[in-house]
Amino acid sequence: MESKAVSRYARVSSLKIVKVSAAVKGRPVGDALNILKFMPQKAAKMLEKLIRSAVANADQKPNIDVDRLVIRTITADDGPVLKRWGTKARGRGTRILKPTCHITVVLSETSSV
pLDDT at 1: 85
Domain count, the chain: 1
CA angle 113, 1, 101 (to 5 degrees): 120
Looking at every residue in the chain, the average pLDDT score rounds to 95
Cα–Cα distance for residue pair 55/85, rounded to 1 Å: 40
Phi, psi of 112 (to 5 degrees): -70, 135
- For residue 26, give the CATH number of its domain: 3.90.470.10
8-61 pLDDT tens trace: 999 999 999 999 999 999 999 999 999 999 999 999 999 999 999 999 999 999
SS (H, E, C) 2-42: EEEEEEEEECCCHHHHHHHHCCCCCCEHHHHHHHHHCCCCH
111 has pLDDT over 70: no
Cα–Cα distance for residue pair 20/12, rounded to 1 Å: 12
| Structural domain boundaries, residue 79 | 2-109
48-77 pLDDT tens trace: 999 999 999 999 998 899 999 999 999 999
pLDDT at 113: 47
Predicted confidence band of residue 112 (pLDDT cuts 50, 70, 90): low
6 has pLDDT over 90: yes
72-96 pLDDT tens trace: 999 999 999 999 999 999 999 999 9
